[in-house]
Chains A and B, each alone.
Chain A
Amino acid sequence: MRIDAGTVRKIAALARLRVAPEDEERYVRELQEILTYVEQLQALDVEGIEPTSTVVAGEPVPLRPDEEISSDVRDEALAAAPDREEDYFRVPRVV
């Protein structure tokens, strides 16, 4: 896959990162290097091999009984937030 300045800007936008125009070229180069390195995997024939979504597969996923336990952390959470309004988190208007 070819990485260009447009790809860098798109990924930055999706990740909500501000990338200075003078840095774009460096990111293009670095991302391209990373991808080229990883692309070596494409050479392998993985036909019929189960995809690995975790390296500890085979372990049963731990399940939790459906029990309600209150954490009572509202005030702490709101105090740690950048902004609050009454008992809500307050953010810049989104619509």
Chain B
Amino acid sequence: MSTAPKAIAGARERYEPVIGLEVHAQLKTASKIFCCCSTRFGAPPNTQVCPVCLGLPGVLPVLNERAVRDAVMVGLAVGSKIALRSVFARKNYFYPDLPKGYQISQYDRPLCEGGSIDIRSGEGWKRIGLVRIHLEEDAGKSLHPEGRAGIHTTRVDLNRAGVPLIEIVSEPDIRSGEEATDYMARLRQILVYLDVCDGNMEEGSLRCDANVSVRPKGSTSFGTKTEIKNLNSFRFVDRAIAYEIERQIGLIESGGRVVQETLLWNSEQGVAESMRSKEEAHDYRYFPEPDLLPLDLDPAWIESVRASLPELPHALRERLVREHGIPEYDAEVLIETRSLASYYEDVAARSGQPKLASNWIMTEVNAIRNRDGLSIERFPIQADRLGALVGMIGAGSISGKIGKQVFEHMLTDPAAPDEIVKRHGLLPIDDEASLLELADEIVAANPGPAAEFRAGKEKTFGFFVGQAMKRSGGRAHPEKLQAALRAALAKQA
């Protein structure tokens, strides 16, 4: 399959895509879910293994309490019902990176059920329901080295085998690749706020499989779905889903039928390829894990976890709008991370200019951060210094234009902004004598426009303001300069 059948023009509007996501998130525990091996990413192959995660006979899994706590935190954060009893189950299949021949997961009695995540959809908000969140162990990693003549082998690294995962299964409430991407981004943000997952998609800490089907608009039954695996970036989530929607509509419109199958997203070619595996007819023969007792939770303990939840993104966004009076759009940008939001709050408090502080962070600060790939923690201007600068601009002691020059200096100069203003001769010109002198000079140098102005062409005034500002290097006090210019133009009349 190299190209997708193109959907017949106009057909797109007659169909409604139905999408559900299964997201696997790696928990940030120090040790694996059922043994004491390290979970560190990038260690030399097979150095973080032991008899338990190697699947040797005679060993028993012992559940990591932090993994349980992390999973419960996520469930509480998204409004799931936490099961007072959940049961681990064996999911049986053979693959070289699964040493035991089964994965310990949860099946009919997951840890969390229900809940929801609110996403952006068009101009408004939309609630995406959750089916469940359960705990399970990760498999190892299979590597398939290419281009070695005559060698047809797969290499297996079991460092990742047994790393704790939560699987978060959404209801089929998503309707486009964009909605799916926003859902992923918001889920990731919640996990990172909770500090239970690092959210690093490149390293596989967050992985996504998408179930996609289409149906005629207005229909309430579901079309045949396909499952796309291996969506390890936000861009791939969007592109793969958009691709699959097009493919399915094209197929139906040209008289074909969608076949239920598992597809693998090939990011290099931008196509979803059929896995065509005999493993497709999955029959996992789940049964309760005899080596682990049911997980019983004490309601009081669950409440203590609830009490320990940090402020979550939606609550923080609403609080920024309420307490600082900034637009929702600003708040949305500022809650990117908890540290960016607290940076903002410090700048707003120090400057006493909540909206100006937000503008400066969204434009100047974020431009530099994006250019240099910096987290706010590593941004060279600390909140108190930016707050002082924004305060000076807000109080009118320097213009925004001069402020930008000061800002540039501050990126490499640790001095306070008022010190930088003095040192670089950026002090505003606001004494009347100097401004009058400047105004006289500009008016004298431009007799033509001056005559036009006097003949009643008010628009010409802007030209003088521009010239004078340019001459002063942007330092002239705007209102006082205007007064001086009017005086100069009147004087020579």
Contacts and interface: CB of A to CB of B under 8 A. Distances in A.
> Which secondary structure characterizes the binding site on chain A?
loop
Interface string B123-163: 00000000000000000001110000000111111100000
A54 B288 contact: yes
B44 A95 contact: no
Interface stretch (B49-57, B202-210, B254-262, B317-325): B49-57
Contacts of B96: 89, 91, 94
Interface string A45-80: 000000001101101111111111111111001100
B296 A61 contact: yes
B469 interface: no
B427 interface: no
Contacts of B62: 62-64
B420 interface: no
A62 B293 CA distance: 8
B292 interface: yes
Given A91-B96, A91-B154, A66 B31 contact: yes
Kindly name the residue among A70, A71, A93 whose own CB sees the greatest number of chain B CB atoms within 10 A: A71
B37 A87 contact: no
Interface residues of B, number: 48
Contact of A90 (B64, B92, B155): B155
A74 B49 contact: yes
Given A92-B154, A95-B154, A54 B294 contact: yes
Contact of B30 (A68, A86, A93): A68
B64 A64 contact: yes
A66 B32 CA distance: 8
Contacts of A67: 30-31, 36
A57 to B, nearest CB: 6
Kindly name the residue among A62, A64, A86, A87 whose own CB sees the greatest number of chain B CB atoms within 10 A: A64
Contact of A61 (B30, B63, B144, B288): B63
Contact of B94 (A16, A66, A85, A93): A16
Contacts of B425: none
Nearest to B108: A51
Kindly name the residue among A59, A61, A78, A85 whose own CB sees the greatest number of chain B CB atoms within 10 A: A61
Contacts of A70: 37-38, 48
Given A64-B63, A66-B67, A68-B30, A95 B36 contact: no
A70 B26 CA distance: 20
Contact of B46 (A63, A65, A78, A91): A78
23 contacts: A14-B92, A16-B94, A53-B87, A53-B294, A56-B293, A63-B68, A64-B62, A64-B63, A68-B36, A68-B39, A69-B37, A77-B49, A77-B54, A85-B155, A86-B155, A87-B44, A87-B46, A88-B155, A89-B46, A91-B154, A94-B96, A95-B142, A95-B154
Interface of A: 10, 14, 16, 53-54, 56-57, 59-74, 77-78, 83, 85-95
Interchain residue pairs A-B with the least CB separation, the first 9: A66-B66, A71-B50, A88-B155, A53-B288, A69-B36, A63-B65, A61-B293, A89-B156, A91-B96
Given A14-B92, A67-B30, A68-B31, 9 more contacts: A14-B285, A54-B293, A62-B63, A78-B46, A88-B45, A90-B154, A91-B153, A93-B154, A94-B95
